[in-house]
Structure 1
Amino acid sequence: MLVRCYRGKLSVWAAMCVLVLCWFYVFPVYRLPRDKDIVEEVLKQGGVWQKNQTGIDLYRKLLTECCDPRRMFAVTKENSPTGKVLWYDGEFYHSHTVNNETYPLLVKDNPLRLPLKKCAVVGNGGILRHSQCGRDIDQADFVLRCNLPPLSKEYVDDVGTRTHLVTANPSIIEKRFQNLLWSRKVFVDSMKVYGSGYIYMPAFSMKTGTDPSLRAYHALADSSSNLTMLFANPEFLRTVGRFWKARGVHARRLSTGLFLVSLALGLCEEVTAYGFWPFSVGLDEQPVSHHYYDNILPYTWFHAMPEEFVQLWHLHKSGALRVRVGRCSAQGGGG
């Protein structure tokens, strides 16, 4: 009897050890600088930024070797013929096989005119409020935005108006547009603000996101919208996640913003990021809302925003990417 109890305890301890090891694999122990230290580092750097073509070329090369963004960033007829199995990158053991219903929805191949020149990746951080960055953003050759942000008149001076590619998480379709089960008009009308660019949806990241994404596609197609739907390739998202995990970003999933920065680094000759600031206090020590349009906080366990910002700031200091965190109309004090 004692032997059985002893073995039972050993089994419990062994199981606990395995769980702990798995936890440290996913979330390794390391020291991230304190928020205050990161802010001080940004202030120390100030508005100084110098483009480093060698660094830009290096990151484009690294991203091409690991993730092939030019060919793989979207699901296309070229990289996903009928019968191709798309394994969901956001969950295990689920996949979608490209069939006669899915295949016609795909673009033929990469529709973007490459190489893209100056690109602006616009996050939704509250740091954009009163930044006066709208004109700078609109002067970019290609503008990428995250998760269907509002571009109404009250925000134009800070975030601009032009959009060439905007992401849309299926959860937005579910929460904001009731999964498009009752009416599609509100969705179609609200998409007009993004002009004639592309909507980029991770339709094959989570099984629950596939149907809402397909409904969004048909809602736009049936209304003769000027927007073109692109489905994010789960293989691209998976490899980009591994790329940043190897560089110190440990989270269940990268933020949409970092995915877009990665895409831009692979496709653009020069990239500037706006609205990336995961801290509650700005450079002037004043409170900063989470988004420029609201202060709804994300699930703290899902993304690792401070870790992502540290990586972006490393790229900024090396000249491979410019991160704007201050007023664009000012000559200094914020990058």
Structure 2
Amino acid sequence: MVSLRCHRSKYIWATLGVLALLWLYIFPVYRIPSDKEMVEEVLRQGQTWSRNQTAVELYRKLLTDCCNPKRMFAVTKENSPLGKVLWYDGEFYHYHTVTNETYPIFVQDTPLQLPLKRCSVVGNGGVLKHSGCGNEIDRADFIMRCNLPPLSKDYTDDVGTKTHLVSANPSIIEKSFQNLLWSRKSFVESMKAYGSSYIYIPAFSMKPGTDPSLRAYHALADSSSNQTVLFANPDFLKNVGIFWKNHGVHGKRLSTGLFLVSLALGLCEEVTAYGFWPFSVGLDERPVSHHYYDNILPSSRFHAMPEEFLQLWHLHKSGTLRMRVGSCAKERMELKREK
């Protein structure tokens, strides 16, 4: 009897051990550095940075192999013909079949003149406030922005004025423009801040976002806007999500910023990222707002911002892309003194 109990106990503990290992595999335990530790890490690295062409080409190949951004980043007539099923990347069991209604509003093929040269990817982090990075951002050949950020005169010294591609999350269309159900005028007027840019909308990520996204397209088309709406290809978004999950980002969904950085790494020869800093204090250890224009925090249920930053910081240290965290104005003054 004692022997039987002993064997049973060993079996139970072995089973629990296997279950624990499975749990750790699915939900790995890791420690994100504290805000202070990240400040110390960035300050240790300093402002010196040099591009590593080998690392750039390696990452471009990795993204091409997994996600093919040049061909697949947007829904086009070429990659999504009539009858094709577009499976939503943000939820299970829902899809959109390309019909005679949606097919005509897709661009023929990728409209960008590739390869792009110097690209600025501008996040909306509060670290941009008082950074003086506006001129530097605007000197890039191609500038990407996230989720229709404000570009009024209060902010242009820090974030610049030019835009070549800006993402527009359907949730913003819902909250700021009431899903375009009652009026389209304020939406069309607000979009003028982005000039003749591409408006990049994930219309086929989640089913509730499809109709507002299509309304946004028609609102701009009917107003003879000089902007081009590009619908994010859900296959591209899904594959980029898998790519970063395999590299240590475990959020339910990537942030728009990381999607755009991934796109830039696949399309651009040089990438500089601004406004990516998900920590509560800056390099001077003073409090930093979440956005440069407000302090509304994202839902932690969806994004894993610190994990994303750590991956981008790794790419910065390897010379694959450049992260601008400190003050651009301060660096300009130092360069002038040296001259």
Establish whether TM, by shorter chain, passes 0.5. Answer: yes
Distance 1:232-1:26 versus aligned 2 partners, 3 A rule: farther
Displacement, 1:301? 1.7
SS, match of residue 329 in structure 1: helix
Cα separation, partners in 2 of 1:104 and 1:23, compared to 1, 3 Å = farther
Q: Which residue of 2 aligns with 1:68?
A: 68
In 2: Cα distance, 1:22 partner to 1:93 partner: 26
Q: Which amino acid aligns with 1:130?
A: H
Q: CA offset at residue 36 of structure 1?
A: 2.0
Partner of 2:11: none
Q: Hey, what does 2:111 align to over in structure 1?
A: 111
Which amino acid in 2 is paired with 1:51?
R
Query: What is aligned with 2:269?
Result: 269
Match of 2:33, SS state, is coil
Write the deviation string for residues 232-283 of structure 1: whole angstroms up to 9, x where unpaired: 0000000000111011000100000000000000000000000000001000
Query: What are the within-5 Å matches in structure 2 for residues 12-51 of structure 1?
Result: 24=24, 27-51=27-51
> Superposition pairs for residues 148-167 of structure 1, below 5 Å?
148-167=148-167
Structure-2 separation of matches of 1:160 and 1:23: 46
Conserved 8 A contact 1:26-1:250 = no
Distance change in 2, residues 1:33/1:190 (3 Å): same
Give 1:68's aligned amino acid: N
Give the whole-Å Cα distance in 1 for the aligned partners of 2:121 and 2:148.
13
Counterpart of 1:132 in structure 2 is: 132
Report the CA distance shift for 1:49/1:94 in structure 2 as closer, same or farther (over 3 A). Answer: same
Deviates more, 1:30-39 or 1:77-86: 30-39
What letter is aligned with 1:230?
L
> Does 18-27 or 45-54 show the bigger shift?
18-27
The alignment covers a number of residue pairs equal to: 317
What is the match of residue 337 of structure 2?
A: none
Hey, what's the Cα distance between the residues in 1 that align with 2:229 and 2:167? 10
**Alpha-carbon separation, structure 1, partners of 2:59 and 2:219:** 37
- In structure 1, the partner of 2:4 is none
User: Alpha-carbon deviation of 1:300?
Assistant: 1.4
1:170 corresponds to = 170
CA distance in 2, matches of 1:319, 1:230: 30
Change (3 A) 1:295 1:58: same
Letter in 1 for 2:324: R
Q: In structure 1, what is the equivalent of residue 186 of structure 2?
A: 186
Query: What SS is found at the alignment partner of 1:136?
Result: helix
The question of whether the paired residues in 2 share the 8 Å contact of 1:203 and 1:231 is answered with: yes
Segments of 4+ moved more than 3 angstroms? 16-27
Instruction: Tell me the SS of whatever aligns to 1:132.
Output: coil
Deviations 1:96-121 (A, max 9, x none): 00010010010000000000000000
| Residue equivalent to 1:328 | 328
Q: Classify the secondary structure of the residue corresponding to 2:120.
A: strand
User: Relative to 1, partners in 2 of residues 1:26 and 1:219: Cα closer, same or farther, differing over 3 Å?
Assistant: farther
Tell me, in whole angstroms, the C-alpha distance in 2 between the residues paired with 1:159 and 1:137.
7
**TM-score normalized with structure 2 length:** 0.91
Letter in 2 for 1:243: F
Q: 1:23 to 1:255 in 2, by over 3 A?
A: farther
Unaligned runs of 5+ in 2: 1-15, 333-339
For residue 96 of structure 1, what is the aligned residue in structure 2? 96
- Cα deviation, residue 162, structure 1: 0.2
C-alpha distance in structure 1 between counterparts of 2:141 and 2:20, whole Å: 48
3-state SS in 1 of match to 2:119: strand
Could you tell me how far apart the structure 2 residues matched to 1:24 and 1:205 are? 29
Answer whether contact 1:144 1:163 (CA < 8 A) is retained.
Answer: yes
TM, length-normalised to structure 1:
0.92
Change (3 A) 1:24 1:177: farther
**Quick check: 1:26–1:251 contact (8 Å CA) kept in 2?**
no
Q: Structure 1's 22 and 79: CA in aligned 2 closer, same or farther, altered over 3 A?
A: farther
Taking the aligned partners of 2:36 and 2:71, their CA distance within structure 1 comes to: 40
Q: 1:236 to 1:131 in 2, by over 3 A?
A: same
Q: Provide the aligned C-alpha RMSD in A.
A: 1.7
**Letter of the aligned partner of 2:137 in structure 1?**
I
Residue pair 1:77, 1:103 contacting (<8 A) in 2 also: yes
Q: 1:88 to 1:18 in 2, by over 3 A?
A: farther
8 Å contact from structure 1 (residues 272, 321) kept in 2 = yes
Q: 2:311 corresponds to which residue?
A: 311
1:67-90 CA-partner distances (Å, limit 9, x unpaired): 000000000000000000000000
> What residue in structure 1 maps to residue 7 of structure 2?
none
